[in-house]
C-alpha cells in the first residue's frame, strides 16, 4: 500500500495479520515524482471506485519509506522504533 499520512489501527493490524506493508512518500511533490517514476499501472479490483480502487502500480526509483511493516510496527506511533522490509524481492535503496 502506498499513500501519504498515517492510517488507522485496523490498517496496522491488517498489515500484521496478512503480511502487508504500507509505504509513505512525500506529500507535496508526489504527483511530479509519480509522473517520473511510474512505469505501469492497472486496476485489480473495484474499478467503479475510480482512484479509490485497488491498483497495481510498478514504479522505479520512487522515493518512499516503510510506515507500517508486516510485524505491525508503525512509524507514526513510534518514530524511534524499527520497521523491517517484509517481502523478498523488494529492492530498497537507502539514501546515503
In this predicted model, what pLDDT tens digit does every residue of 21-76 receive, in sequence order? 888 877 777 677 778 888 899 999 999 999 888 888 888 887 778 888 888 888 88
Q: Are 75 and 83 in contact (CB under 8 A)?
A: yes
**Residue 19, C-beta contacts closer than 8 angstroms, at least 6 positions apart:** 70, 86, 87
Task: Kindly report the pTM of this predicted structure.
Answer: 0.62
**Residue 77, C-beta contacts closer than 8 angstroms, at least 6 positions apart:** 6, 12
According to DSSP, residue 16 is labeled: H
Strand partners, 43: 55
- pLDDT the model gives residue 31: 73
Residue with cell 510498478: 58
Amino acid at each position: 500500500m502506498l499513500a501519504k499520512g498515517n492510517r488507522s489501527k485496523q490498517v496496522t493490524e491488517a498489515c500484521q495479520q496478512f503480511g502487508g506493508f504500507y509505504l509513505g512518500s512525500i506529500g507535496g511533490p508526489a504527483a511530479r515524482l509519480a509522473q517520473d517514476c511510474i512505469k505501469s499501472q492497472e486496476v485489480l479490483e473495484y474499478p467503479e471506485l475510480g482512484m479509490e480502487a485497488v491498483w497495481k502500480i510498478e514504479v522505479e526509483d520512487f522515493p518512499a519509506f516503510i510506515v507500517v511493516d508486516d510485524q505491525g510496527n508503525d512509524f507514526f506511533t513510534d518514530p524511534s522504533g524499527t520497521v523491517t522490509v517484509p517481502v523478498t524481492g523488494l529492492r530498497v535503496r537507502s539514501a546515503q
